[in-house]
A and B are shown apart, each in its own frame.
Chain A
Amino acid sequence: MDFFTFVQLGDASVRMAIPLLLACLAGLFSERAGIFDIGLEGKMLAAAFLAAAVSLVSGNAWVGLLAGIGISIALSLIHGLASITFRGNQLISGVAINFFAAGLTVVVAQGWFAQGGRTPSLPKDARFNGIDFPGALTRVRDKMQADPWAQFYSEFISGHSILVYLGLLTVPLSWWVLYRTRFGLRLRAVGEAPEAVDTAGISVVRLRYTAVIIAGVLCGVAGAYLSTAVQAGFTKDMTANRGFIALAALIFAKWRPWYALGACLLFGLFFAIDNRFQNIQLEVIWIMTGLFAAAAAMTLYALRRERIDLIVLGGLSAVLVFVGLATWIGAMDEAIGATAALFETVKVPSQLIQSLPYLFVVVVLAGFVGKAIPPRAGGQPYVKER
Chain B
Amino acid sequence: MDAMPKWADVVLVPVVSLLLAAIISIIVFVAVGQDPWEALKLMSYGAVGTSDNLGYTLFYMTNFIFTGLAVAVAFHAALFNIGGEGQVLLGGLGATLAVLFVPWPHWTLALLAGSVAAALFGALWVAIPAYLQARRGSHIVITTIMFNFMASGLLIFMLAGPLKPVGEMQIATAVFPETVHLPSLHDIAQLFGLDTFGRSPVNISIFLALGACVGVWALIWHTRLGYQIRAFGQSESAARYAGISAVNITMIALLISGALAGMMAVNNTMGINNPQLVDNAAGGAGFIGIAVALMGRNHPVGIVIAALLFGALFQGGAELSAATQIPVQIVVVIQALVIMFTGALDEMVRSPIQKMFLRYGNKGVGAPAAVLPEGEE
Q: Are A107 and B326 in contact (CB under 8 A)?
A: yes
The stretch of B106-114, B127-135, B181-189, B298-306 that contacts the partner chain: B127-135
Q: Are B336 and A97 in contact (CB under 8 A)?
A: yes
Closest Cβ of chain B: how far from A373's Cβ, in Å? 9
Among A104, A244, A352, A365, contact of B333 (Cβ-Cβ < 8 Å): A104
* Docked complex Cα distance between A262 and B128 (Å): 27
The stretch of A79-87, A201-209, A224-232 that contacts the partner chain: A79-87
Is A355 among interface residues, defined by CB-CB distance under 8 A? yes
Closest Cβ of chain A: how far from B296's Cβ, in Å? 14
Interface string of B260-304 (1 = CB under 8 A from A): 000000000000000000000000000100100010000000000
The stretch of A53-61, A109-117, A128-136, A279-287 that contacts the partner chain: A109-117
Q: Are A91 and B33 in contact (CB under 8 A)?
A: no
Among A100, A359, A361, contact of B336 (Cβ-Cβ < 8 Å): A100
Tell me the interface secondary structure of chain B in the complex: helix
B326 surroundings in chain A (CB, below 8 A): 107, 110-111
A88-B333 CB under 8 A given contacts A106-B327, A365-B132, A367-B136 = no
The stretch of A144-152, A170-178, A212-220, A309-317 that contacts the partner chain: A309-317
Closest Cβ of chain A: how far from B376's Cβ, in Å? 10
Interface positions of A from 303 to 336, Cβ below 8 Å from B: 308-309, 312-313, 315-316
* Docked complex Cα distance between A11 and B226 (Å): 55
A111-B329 CB under 8 A given contacts A88-B345, A91-B80, A367-B138 = no
Q: Are B347 and A88 in contact (CB under 8 A)?
A: yes
A38 surroundings in chain B (CB, below 8 A): 141, 145
* Docked complex Cα distance between A358 and B144 (Å): 10
Q: Are A247 and B142 in contact (CB under 8 A)?
A: yes
Q: Which residue of B lies closest to A103 (CB)?
A: B332
B331 surroundings in chain A (CB, below 8 A): 103
* Docked complex Cα distance between A352 and B154 (Å): 8
A86-B347 CB under 8 A given contacts A107-B326, A354-B153 = yes
* Docked complex Cα distance between A316 and B129 (Å): 12
Q: Are B128 and A108 in contact (CB under 8 A)?
A: no
B interface residues, tally (CB under 8 Å):
58
Q: Are A365 and B142 in contact (CB under 8 A)?
A: yes
Is A248 among interface residues, defined by CB-CB distance under 8 A? yes
Q: Which residue of B lies closest to A250 (CB)?
A: B142
B332 surroundings in chain A (CB, below 8 A): 99, 102-103
A95 surroundings in chain B (CB, below 8 A): 82, 287, 290, 339, 343
Q: Are B344 and A83 in contact (CB under 8 A)?
A: yes
* Docked complex Cα distance between A25 and B327 (Å): 33
Interface string of B25-40 (1 = CB under 8 A from A): 0001001111000000
* Most B C-beta atoms less than 10 A away, residue of A97, A349, A351, A361: A351
Q: Are B31 and A312 in contact (CB under 8 A)?
A: no
Q: Are B127 and A312 in contact (CB under 8 A)?
A: yes
Q: Which residue of A lies closest to B347 (CB)?
A: A86
Q: Are B28 and A104 in contact (CB under 8 A)?
A: yes
* Docked complex Cα distance between A98 and B335 (Å): 11
A interface residues, tally (CB under 8 Å):
55
A87 surroundings in chain B (CB, below 8 A): 347
* Docked complex Cα distance between A25 and B149 (Å): 22
Q: Are A117 and B150 in contact (CB under 8 A)?
A: no
Closest Cβ of chain A: how far from B27's Cβ, in Å? 11
* Docked complex Cα distance between A142 and B346 (Å): 61
* Docked complex Cα distance between A96 and B128 (Å): 26
Among A82, A110, A117, A351, contact of B340 (Cβ-Cβ < 8 Å): A82
Q: Which residue of A lies closest to B335 (CB)?
A: A99
A110-B343 CB under 8 A given contacts A92-B290, A241-B149 = no
Q: Which residue of B lies closest to A326 (CB)?
A: B162
Q: Are A106 and B340 in contact (CB under 8 A)?
A: no
* Docked complex Cα distance between A86 and B350 (Å): 10
* Docked complex Cα distance between A349 and B343 (Å): 39
Closest Cβ of chain B: how far from A150's Cβ, in Å? 39
A315 surroundings in chain B (CB, below 8 A): 124, 127
Q: Are A92 and B343 in contact (CB under 8 A)?
A: yes
Closest Cβ of chain B: how far from A385's Cβ, in Å? 16
* Docked complex Cα distance between A95 and B341 (Å): 12
Q: Are B339 and A103 in contact (CB under 8 A)?
A: no
Closest Cβ of chain A: how far from B118's Cβ, in Å? 18
Q: Are A103 and B146 in contact (CB under 8 A)?
A: no
Interface positions of B from 337 to 355, Cβ below 8 Å from A: 337, 339-340, 343-348
Closest Cβ of chain A: how far from B346's Cβ, in Å? 6
Q: Are B32 and A96 in contact (CB under 8 A)?
A: no
Q: Are B128 and A312 in contact (CB under 8 A)?
A: yes
Is A89 among interface residues, defined by CB-CB distance under 8 A? yes
* Docked complex Cα distance between A83 and B161 (Å): 44
Q: Are A93 and B344 in contact (CB under 8 A)?
A: yes
A366 surroundings in chain B (CB, below 8 A): 132, 136, 138
A114-B335 CB under 8 A given contacts A82-B345, A308-B135 = no
* Docked complex Cα distance between A111 and B153 (Å): 32
Closest Cβ of chain B: how far from A190's Cβ, in Å? 20
A96-B143 CB under 8 A given contacts A108-B31, A308-B135 = no
* Docked complex Cα distance between A100 and B287 (Å): 12
Among A81, A99, A114, A362, contact of B339 (Cβ-Cβ < 8 Å): A99
Q: Are B348 and A362 in contact (CB under 8 A)?
A: no
Q: Are A355 and B153 in contact (CB under 8 A)?
A: yes
Is B240 among interface residues, defined by CB-CB distance under 8 A? no
Closest Cβ of chain B: how far from A29's Cβ, in Å? 18
A111-B33 CB under 8 A given contacts A96-B340, A315-B127, A365-B142 = yes
Closest Cβ of chain B: how far from A58's Cβ, in Å? 20
Is B247 among interface residues, defined by CB-CB distance under 8 A? yes
Q: Are B142 and A251 in contact (CB under 8 A)?
A: yes
Closest Cβ of chain A: how far from B76's Cβ, in Å? 15
* Docked complex Cα distance between A116 and B161 (Å): 31
Closest Cβ of chain B: how far from A1's Cβ, in Å? 26
A312 surroundings in chain B (CB, below 8 A): 127-128, 131
What are the 4 closest A-B residue pairs judged by CB atoms, nearest first? A103-B332, A111-B32, A93-B344, A99-B336
Interface CB pairs A-B, < 8 A, 14: A92-B339, A99-B335, A100-B333, A104-B329, A110-B325, A110-B327, A111-B325, A111-B326, A241-B149, A308-B251, A359-B146, A362-B132, A362-B146, A367-B137
